[in-house]
Amino acid sequence: MSAFRCGTVAIVGRPNVGKSTLLNKLVGQKLSITSRKPQTTRYRLNGILTKLDTQYIFVDTPGFQMRHKSALNRAMNRTVTDSLRDMDVALLVLEAGQLEKEDRDALAIISAETPLVIAINKIDKLAGNGPLLDFLKMVAALCPRAELVPVSARLGKNLPELLKTIRTHLPEQSAIYAADDLTDRNERFLAAELLREKLFRLTGDELPYGSSVTIEKFEEEGQMRRIHAAIIVDKDSHKAMVIGQKGLKLKEIATAARIDMEKLFGGKVFLQVWVKVKSGWTDDERSLRTLGFGDL
């Protein structure tokens, strides 16, 4: 058998190309949040996949935020750059048939020394092989040093090929994490991610990006978890929207989040959620830190 390999893989790409979906499919667990709404991944999140001869440590980077220039977006872009430093492989995700300026921007921040694999995702959306071949040729011309692997994250198509390609760039060394570790993020963090995902999904397009979730209390009693969370919004009108008629929207959000938490943690969860208003926080670096963005 070949020597064990272990290393870090930065997943990079503009919003909505399917980075979170791909990570979830690869590590086989719902850890990174996904959404139809771009830019819902605000933190870096490691997913770990351990095979017989390889350990892949994935870092899901937030989407690029070229259009807005608030402190929050600057912090997110810093996360992208930071997560690329010291990575063994950069995995750029593109959407098949769609090459946009933001994709080129994503490509531009990857240093020429970092081995580059490009996953051409959502091939299930293209009709026939012709358009895919044309797209592959275009990307190969744009970036000759990259290895291209067409995949469908949603259908799980060609993912073994993608892993094989990534593996060739990982250093020979023993595993860093235990074989059954899925992520190095703790449950408190995952609870916030799951609640945030439901918030974005269930409030539709009205809720602006300037809202966040913070976990105020996380207690374990045996197999049971008691979690107090706050949804923090910009304005009173957003608060009313999240709470909904007779509190029904908030109840829907909290229930969906609790069900996912119970699945992930493997035990009962008592979840209480409050909605709080905090004006202008996206433009205030200090409030970012208070809210737990200090490590960005």
What DSSP character marks residue 223? T
- Cα distances (Å, whole numbers) of residue 272 to 123, 214, 253: 41, 12, 11
Told to check if 46 binds Mg ion by CB under 5 A, we report no
Beta carbon nearer to ligand GDP, 47 or 269:
47
**Pair type for strands 54-60 and 45-50:** antiparallel
Which span sits near Mg ion by CB under 5 A: 38-46, 101-109, 136-144, 190-198?
38-46
In angstroms, what is the minimal distance from the CB of 37 to ligand GDP?
Answer: 8
What DSSP character marks residue 295? T
Q: Decide: helix, strand or coil at residue 286.
A: helix
Residue 86 CA, distance from chain mean position:
19
Told to check if 20 binds Mg ion by CB under 5 A, we report yes
The option from Mg ion, ligand GDP, none interacting with 124 (CB < 5 to 8 A, set by class) reads ligand GDP
Beta carbon nearer to ligand GDP, 13 or 210:
13
The option from ligand GDP, Mg ion, none interacting with 152 (CB < 5 to 8 A, set by class) reads ligand GDP
In angstroms, what is the minimal distance from the CB of 33 to Mg ion?
Answer: 7
- Cα(176)–Cα(178) distance, rounded to whole angstroms? 7
Q: Under the phi-then-psi rule, with left for phi > 0, alpha for psi from -120 to 50, and beta for the rest, what region is 86?
A: left
Extended beta strands in 151-211, E state: none
Told to check if 16 binds ligand GDP by CB under 6 A, we report yes
The option from ligand GDP, Mg ion, none interacting with 167 (CB < 5 to 8 A, set by class) reads none
Residues of this chain that bind ligand GDP (CB under 6 A)? 13, 15-21, 34-36, 38, 41, 63, 121-122, 124-125, 152-154
